[in-house]
Structure 1
Amino acid sequence: MGTAVKTAKTSPASWDAFADVDAFVDEVLAELAAMAVDGTRSTRSGPTAALSGAALRKAIMAIWCVCFCGMQWRAIGQLCDIPFGTLYTLFARWTRLGLWRRLLNRLTLAWRQACGDKPVPSAVIIDSRSCHSAPTCFGRGFDGGKKIKGIKIHLAVDKYGFPLAINVSPANRHDGKGIVPVLHQLAGRGFKGTALGDLSYRGERLSKTGGALGITIQPSAGGHGGTFIPEGIRWVVERSLGWVSRYRRLNTIFERTEAHLVAFIEIAFISILSRRLVRLAPQEIGA
């Protein structure tokens, strides 16, 4: 359960988010084109023409820079010579249409296929991460364990570390409660299997909630005496949270809505996946 058949191999290279940013832009453009074909993305009407060509590519790259560099919308608008209101409106509209979630699902499926795996995993790993937030954020709470005043990100990832479900909440919400929306998202995707987590996910109530959705919650200790000890595939979610921490917009949270925060988390993983897929070794592409 949860072991890879064959992990896709990428060409060796140091971690550099800017090296393949064009891959991120290309994937977003491809998804926008697909949404236009199936009618999910309606044609925008207004006094000015919609962005296209090089201007649209620049706008997508600007949204990525907001996520990775943690820049303010006004600052990135000045640098790329596009009104910040236009950039923010594009981001908000694409978030509302579900562009980021749809693209992340497609890239996750492509990576699992490259690894020779099934579309739906038999096991997922669940965990959370507390982040500092600004007073203007959609909600704030105090995580007494980590001494952080802010919000909490709840993730369910597959064995490769890519999210299948995401939820956000104030930091004072217990992991056992914050993970319930994640379980409902997993069930909506057809997942029926085991959810591995730490001892925060103990409890009869959570177990019954998962059982009603066809998901078995399996908590276990992730360490001893304050030392983290990898157990099975449990460690991959820690790596995923480490990936997220490299994106500065996700370290101190400023988003006024939960949907926009989730969108930036999805953008971070889309960036990672698009970079990996473009670097697949030749033997994997030809297989």
Structure 2
Amino acid sequence: MGTAVKTARTSPASWDAFSDVDAFVDEVLAELGAMEADGAKPTRSGPKPALTGTALRKAIMAVWCLCVCGMQWRAIGQLCDIPFSTLFTLFSRWTRLGLWRRLLDRLRRTWRLVCDDAAEPTAVVIDSRSCCSAPSCFGRGFDGGKKINGVKVHLGVDKYGIPLAIDVSPANVHDTRGIVPVLRELSGKGFRGSALGDLGYRGKRLAKAGQKLGITVKAIARGRDGKFLPAGICWVVERSFSWIANYRRLNTIFDRTKEHLVAFIEIAFVSILSRRLNRLVASEISA
């Protein structure tokens, strides 16, 4: 993977989380239909009929609002006239069935193909970000370097900044240990290539763990005298963290399970990609 990034052309517009929300809802509905066709059963039978039509669209938009606005489950239930227990049950079931991961992988491949690139990358960029968390969060630790008491998000992204693997851990877990689950997830998806990171990923133990998984971990200096310096494509992961910082639920973590936090990170990137694909200029679509 080279350093050049040739992105597809999109219509110019300032960043607005509320623009093209329908594109996000349409992508989720399409993936739900694909899961039902595959036999994944995204909805279950019960005494109450499953949400359909407008009610289902409203429920999907409510989950999106939770991620963007950082609202509470009970508050969004009051606003959309759907019991918060129903919304949480839907979100939990979709997360357990892997809806958000499936959708993110599909949109990521679509975006790469639109950019005249291969569907799968040959190298990824890895990094972590410490976030404050509430005492009720699933795990907590103190990051002495950044003076943050909370959790740490570990990402492995391609050159367009879209994650292939996500994991979270308490903030006191060192990067060389916290990134191992990300490497395992990448290896499980068939990735074989280089993982580029900052100097925090140096060490023989991490290098050997990567070799066993078929991944070469390369530590590259990204700064000098306390200043950040872009090195090749390694800067793209910093941009990815800045993107998800616009989603308020991902700034202070309240989720009580790691799976739900990862799901909200995936929802943030699904929102970004669905908006991009919806804004592709006509020439790119016809090509």
TM-score higher than 0.5: yes
1:151-230 aligned at under 5 Å gives the runs: 151-230=151-230
What does 1:35-184 align with in structure 2 at a 5 Å threshold?
35-41=35-41, 43-184=43-184
Within 1, Cα distance between the matches of 2:89 and 2:129?
28
Counterpart amino acid of residue 246 in structure 2: R
For residue 155 of structure 1, report the CA deviation from its aligned partner: 0.1
What letter is aligned with 1:57?
A: R
Could you tell me which amino acid in structure 2 is paired with residue 268 of structure 1? A
User: How far apart are residue 190 of structure 1 and its match?
Assistant: 1.2
The equivalent of 2:235 in structure 1 is: 235
Distance 1:212 1:258 in 2: 26
- Poorly superposed stretches of 4+, deviation over 4 Å: none
Alpha-carbon offset, residue 247 of structure 1: 0.4
Farther off after superposition, 208-217 or 197-206: 208-217
| C-alpha distance in structure 1 between counterparts of 2:183 and 2:27, whole Å | 28
**Distance (whole Å) between structure 1 residues aligned to residue 145 and residue 6 of structure 2:** 38
Match of 2:227, as an amino acid? T
Aligned residues: 287
The Cα offsets for residues 30-73 of structure 1, whole Å up to 9 and x where unpaired, read as 00001011101255111111100000000000000000000000
The alignment's C-alpha RMSD in Å is 1.0
CA contact (8 A) 1:5 1:117 kept: no
Q: Is the 8 A contact 1:5 1:116 kept in 2?
A: no
The structural deviation recorded for 1:5 is: 6.9
Contact 2:108 2:162 in 1 (8 A): yes
Q: TM-score, normalised by structure 1?
A: 0.98
**CA distance in structure 2 between the aligned counterparts of 1:60 and 1:87, rounded to whole angstroms:** 9
Partner SS, residue 166 of structure 2: strand
Q: What residue is the counterpart of 1:2 in the other structure?
A: 2
Deviations 1:147-194 (A, max 9, x none): 000000000000000000000000000000000000011111111111
| Structure 1 portions without partners, runs of 5+ | none
Distance 2:139 2:5 in 1: 41
Q: Which amino acid aligns with 2:182?
A: V
Residues 195-220 of structure 1 deviation map (CA, whole Å, 9 limit, x = unaligned): 11001100000001111111111101
Give the unaligned 5+ runs of structure 2: none
Aligned mates of 1:113, 1:100 — CA distance in 2 = 20
